[in-house]
Amino acid sequence: MNRLALILMSVLLIVGLNTTPAQAEFILGASLTDTTAEEGSFDADDNSYKIFFGFRFLKFFGVEGEYVDFGEFEDAGVKFEATSFSAYAVGALQIWRFDLFAKAGLASWDQDFKSGPGSDDTGTDIAYGVGGAFRITERVWVRAEWEVFELDDADLDMVSLGADFRF
């Protein structure tokens, strides 16, 4: 699965190198998150953060990468923590000062589920999301997103609000 992600990212970067500078746009940002973790009777939420970067090749297409600390969840004495590195292909539509986007990709995650003897697990799964950004200035945007991650021991729904800077 990791080879597939590497091949996909390489192809997308090669495509990006063929764009003109007027079309290219680098994105760097951070968001505060609210994540809900669910699995069976386990249902908890926590606030945390994510940092992300991206590159728009064309007006409507780009890639993004992000690091997410999902936080620490606790329900009925069971504790759960997770982090993720993700890579996405992004489709975007800019209308006036709004940037609406959808993204799909792979999340390489690490989870620690503490119930009885506990378990520490890693994996790579599909992740996806939708969002929007509003342009404050030419370089500063306010961004809101909803993302879904399906880990082995929990399903995570994340809502985030943050800012991105475009160069």
Average pLDDT (59-69) is: 93
What is the residue-wise DSSP string for 77-132?
TEEEEEEEEEEEEEEEEEETTEEEEEEEEEEEEEEEEESTT-EEEEEEEEEEEEEE
What does the pLDDT look like over 126-143, one tens digit per residue? 999 999 999 999 999 999
Give which of 63, 65, 50 is closest to 91, Cα–Cα: 63
State which residues form the domain around 157.
Answer: 2-166
CA distance 8 to 2: 10
Return the amino acid letter for 34. D
Per-residue pLDDT of 70-107, as tens digits, reads: 999 988 788 888 999 999 999 999 898 999 999 999 99
Q: Tell the residue number behind the tokens 């939420």, with chain if given.
A: 45
Considering its fold, how many domains does the chain have in total?
Answer: 1
> What is the value of pTM for the model shown?
0.82
- Residue 80 structure tokens: 């759960």
| CATH code assigned at 106 | 2.40.160.20
